[in-house]
Amino acid sequence: MEKTTKRLEIMAIFQELFKQADLYDENKQPIHDKIIYLCQGKLYPDWRRKPELQMAKELAKRAIALTGPRLETVNDVFKKVGDLGTAFGILKQQIDENSTQSTLYKTERVLTVSEVYNTLVQIANYSGVVSQKKKISMLSGMLSRCEAQEAKYIGRFIDSKMRLGTADLTMIEAIARMLAKNENEQSINREIIERAYNIYPDLGTVLKTVMLEGIDAMKRFQPKLGVPIRSMLAQRLDSPEEFLPKHGGEFAAEYKLDGERVQIHTRDKKVMLFSRRQEVISKQYPDVVNSVMNYITAKSAILDGEIVAIEPGTGKLMPFQLLMRRRRKYGVDEKMEEIPTRVYLFDVLLLDGKSMLDTPYLERRACLERSVSTSQDKILPVPQKIIKSYPEFVDFFNQAIKNGTEGLLTKSTKPESVYQPGARGWLWIKLKSLQRGKLPDAIDVVIIGVNWGEGRRAGQWGTLLVAVNNEDTGSLEMLTRVSSGMDDEKAEFLFKNLKTIPTCPRNVKSTETPDKWVEPDTILEIVGDEITESPNTIIGYSIRFPRIVRIRDDKGVDDITTAAEVLSMRTGSRNETDI
């Protein structure tokens, strides 16, 4: 997989692996899910709240040193290649070539997938200073039995840098194709598997189920309390005049808020909060948990909403950056007093044990309103209006902007207006404020490279190379360079948190070579004046006068803007006065 950047070839290799009949461990238990997790570079989905590996590089270096080489040699190799996995592979190759070198362990028994996975889980479950020796010992024992190639990928897993090109949707499509008899069946299979994954975002479990039980088993996946559903997303339109025709003459408009998307799971006064990235954030928002316990009347529910910061005393909506100060492990109570919040709910996905995903929007909205206590302002249905004319739309938009929101999110009121987990369809369309720039919307990009700064930015990152997602190829494609809008706080954060790597990531395509490549996992929201043609970018277009708005800790690479979306915006630049 690592030797090719071609998506079809990656899928073919992946399919060959899963066509094997012996994907079972010594206890006859299937290992399909463990293979998936290893390809993803994680032990579990984030929402399972189980300990991840998080093993420090220094401990990993000491483990490989116990298999033969001196620690000084390990450090020298690591400094040269800058990658833990590559260093492990080189060191194991040297050990194999010098077979007379003594090692702590000696065995010829082959490592299995289950052994590797289960050992990594054991290492993850150890905690505290005393456990360090156990972690080192277990990893060293496993590495002593590895071939060079195996050691390389165990090192990559520890370093969270698998670089196989196996994105989640690539693996889903590979299995969908493998189980299909023709192209039409491929498309149907992909849609069914993807829907199951969007409802139950545990790719190991989903793909193991489809491999063992078939496509029909995918239809059994339904909303479940404690399992976050992937959020439904909205499309964009360039002109407000297009909204009524696109929605068929009538639609619902809701405030689009500048906060943190939250999915609330509650049953019998027990509450769990999930972020858009499916991380558990209940501890960061104890006030929200308390509001749900006190003011949600349903016995059980999964609710979709937005947490916003409000000004103490006035209740005025405050910016997203202020809210992000609540995302912390320590000092939560102090920040809760300093930065109070309010929750605006805009959808219900499960209500009293019944899935609401296939229920039309207006029915879901009515159920939502009945599920919230009145005469309180801590947790509320988001302001909404049924729009039947263009003047109504303009008036409500202006009202939303005046009240401190980003704009409006419009929703179909037709019978087919279901909730589509993980999808970005035309049932929801957004119209945002244009005060920040002339583009119809901000763009979410991932940082792929950095250049050193000059002047007051000397010794820090000055210019950032950013990319968007090409959904057809699975590649991250360079869009522009950006430095404007990087204040001291953002500059310090990026310098401390961006992880530099020695070579361009396999899934990144760029026409420029930065001073340093970085692991593509940090998301920026940027705005600009317009989309312009550019021969210097992969997609052929760039952003004129790009500016950083904020760092999006709440979003992952799967959430960034696509190349197709950028292209759809290139003719839509307009001024605020247009509406």
pLDDT tens across 3-18, in order? 887 888 989 999 999 9
Per-residue model confidence (pLDDT) at position 102:
45
Place of tokens 């763009």: 443
Per-residue model confidence (pLDDT) at position 465:
93
pLDDT tens across 144-183, in order? 888 999 999 999 999 888 888 788 888 999 999 999 989 8
Q: Does 233-432 match 42-158 at the fold level? A: no
Annotated catalytic, 256? Answer: yes
Average pLDDT over residues 274-296: 94
Class of domain 42-158 (CATH, top level): mainly alpha
Instruction: Give the separation between CA 461 and CA 456, rounded to whole angstroms.
Output: 11
pLDDT tens across 399-412, in order? 999 999 989 999 99
**Residue 14 region, left (φ>0) first, then alpha (ψ -120 to 50), else beta?**
alpha
CATH classification of 443-578 is 3.30.1360.70, yes or no?
Answer: no
Q: How far is CA 229 from CA 30, 59, 199, 327, in A?
A: 26, 36, 5, 21
Of 215-219, 233-237, 358-362, 385-389, which range is least confident?
233-237
Residue of 92, 256, 378, 411 marked catalytic: 256
CATH classification of 233-432 is 3.40.50.360, yes or no?
Answer: no
- Prediction pTM value: 0.85
Place of tokens 């009293």: 352
Per-residue model confidence (pLDDT) at position 571:
52
**Domain boundaries defined on the chain:** 42-158, 233-432, 443-578
Other CB atoms within 10 Å distance of the CB of residue 512: 13
Exposure on the CB side of residue 145, measured as CA atoms within 13 A: 15
Which pLDDT band holds residue 352 (cuts at 50, 70, 90)? very high
Mean pLDDT estimate for the chain: 88
Instruction: Give the separation between CA 140 and CA 549, rounded to whole angstroms.
Output: 45
